Structure 1
Amino acid sequence: MEEKGKGSERWSAAIGNLSEMTSNLESLQKLLLKKAVFVDEETFAKASLSSEQARTIKVLEQRVETLERELDAAITAAARARSEKRQAEAAQKAAELRSQEITRELENTTKVFELHMEELRAKQQEIAKRDSDIKVLEAIIQTLGGKESSSSRPSL
C-alpha cells in the first residue's frame, strides 16, 4: 500500500509539472504574438539572405585578421632573415679579407725563404770551393813536404 501512495504522489507531481509547463507555454505564446512581426516570404528571404551574408562577412573578416597576423609574422621573419644574411655576408667578407691577408703573409714568407735558400746554396758552394782549395793545398803541402823529407834525409 505504501508503494501505491508513493506512485500516486509521483503522478500528481508530474501532472502538476505538466500544468505548470502548459501555463508557461501559453505565456510564451502570448508574448510572441504581441512582439512577433509577420512578413511575406520575399521579405523573409531577403532578411535570411542578409543574415547569411552578415555571417559570411564575419567569417571572412576573421580570416582576413588571421591572414594579416600571418603576413606580419612573415614580414618579421623575412626582416630577421635579411638581417642574418647581412651578418653572414659581413662575416664571409671578413673571412675572405683575413684569408687574403694570410695568403699575402705566406707569399712573403715564401719569398724570404727562397732568398735564404739561395743564400745558403751560395754559401754551400763557397764552402765546397774552399774545401776543394784546402784539399788541393793539403795535397801540395804533402807533396812538398814529402820531397823535403826525402832530401833532408841522409843518403846511405
Structure 2
Amino acid sequence: MDEKGKGTDRWGAAILNLSEMGTNLDSLQKVLMKKAVFVDEETYAKASLSSQQARTIKVLEQRVNSLEKELDAAISAAARARSEKRQAEAAQRAAELRALEVTKELENTSKVFELHMEELRAKQDEISKRDSDIKVLEAIIRTLGGKESHTAG
C-alpha cells in the first residue's frame, strides 16, 4: 500500500475513533442529565469535562472533514493544472513544428525565386547581347546601304 493510502486509512481510523468517542460521551452526558439528580463535585467535574471533550471532538471532526475537502479540491486543481500544462506543451510543440514547416517553405520559395532571378538575368543578358548584335548589324547595313547609294549614283 502506498503512503497516500496509509495516510488516508489512518485519517479514517482516527475520525472513526473520534466519532465513537463523541457518541459515547454524548450518551454518557444524556444518562447523567436524565439519571443523575445529585452528584458530588468530583463526579460533576468529570461529567462536565467529558461534555467539553465531546464538543471539542465534534469541532475537530468538522475541521478534519473541512481539511479533507480542501485537500481533495487542491488535488483536483493540481490534476487540472497538469492536464492544462500537457495540453499547452502539446500545442507549443505543434506550433513549433508548423513554424519549422513554414520556415522550410519560405526557404524553398526563396531558392526557387533565386533560380528564377538567375534565369531572368541570363535572359536579360542574352537579350542585351542580341540587342547589341542587332545594333551592330543595323550599323553595318546602314554603312553598306550608304556605300551602295554612293556607288549607284
Q: Same fold (TM over 0.5)?
A: yes
Separation in 2, partners of 1:115, 1:145 = 44
- Larger CA Rg, structure 1 vs 2: 1
SS in 1 for 2:39: coil
**SS across alignment from 1:42:** helix
Displacement, 1:112?
A: 0.9
Q: For the residues of structure 2 that align with 1:67 and 1:106, how far apart are their CA atoms?
A: 57
Partner of residue 56, structure 1: 56
- Tell me the TM-score normalized by structure 2: 0.74
Say whether residues 1:81 and 2:86 are aligned partners.
no
State the Cα distance separating 1:36 from its structure 2 match. 2.9
Q: Please give the root-mean-square deviation of Cα atoms over the aligned residues, in Å.
A: 1.5
Match of 1:3 in 2: none
Instruction: Specify the code of the residue in structure 1 equivalent to 2:50.
Output: S
- SS of match in other structure, 1:39: coil
Q: C-alpha displacement at 1:144, in angstroms? A: 0.8
User: Hey, what's the Cα distance between the residues in 2 that align with 1:64 and 1:145?
Assistant: 118
Identity level (%): 84
What is the aligned partner in structure 2 of residue 90 from structure 1?
Answer: 90
Summarize deviations over 1:80-130 as a string: whole Å, max 9, x none.
121111111101110110110110010011011011101111110111011
The corresponding residue for 2:152 is 152
Structure 1 partner of 2:135: 135
For residue 78 of structure 1, report the CA deviation from its aligned partner. Answer: 1.4
Match runs of 1:108-127 below 5 Å: 108-127=108-127
Write out per-residue CA displacement over residues 19-66 of structure 1, whole angstroms, 9 at most, x where no aligned residue: xxxxxxxxxxxxxxx943432212211221121011011111011111
Q: Which structure would you say has the larger RCO, counting Cα contacts within 8 Å and 6 or more residues apart? A: 2
Instruction: Name the count of aligned residue pairs.
Output: 120
1:50–1:36: structure 2 CA closer, same or farther, 3 Å change rule? closer
CA distance in 2, matches of 1:132, 1:35: 132
Q: Compare 75-84 and 126-135 and name the one that shifted more.
A: 75-84
Once the two structures are TM-superposed, the CA of residue 70 in structure 1 deviates from its matched residue by 1.7
Structure 1 pair 44/144, CA: closer, same or farther in 2 (3 Å)? Answer: same
Alpha-carbon distance between aligned partners in 2 of 1:108 and 1:100, rounded to the nearest angstrom:
12
Aligned counterpart, 1:38: 38
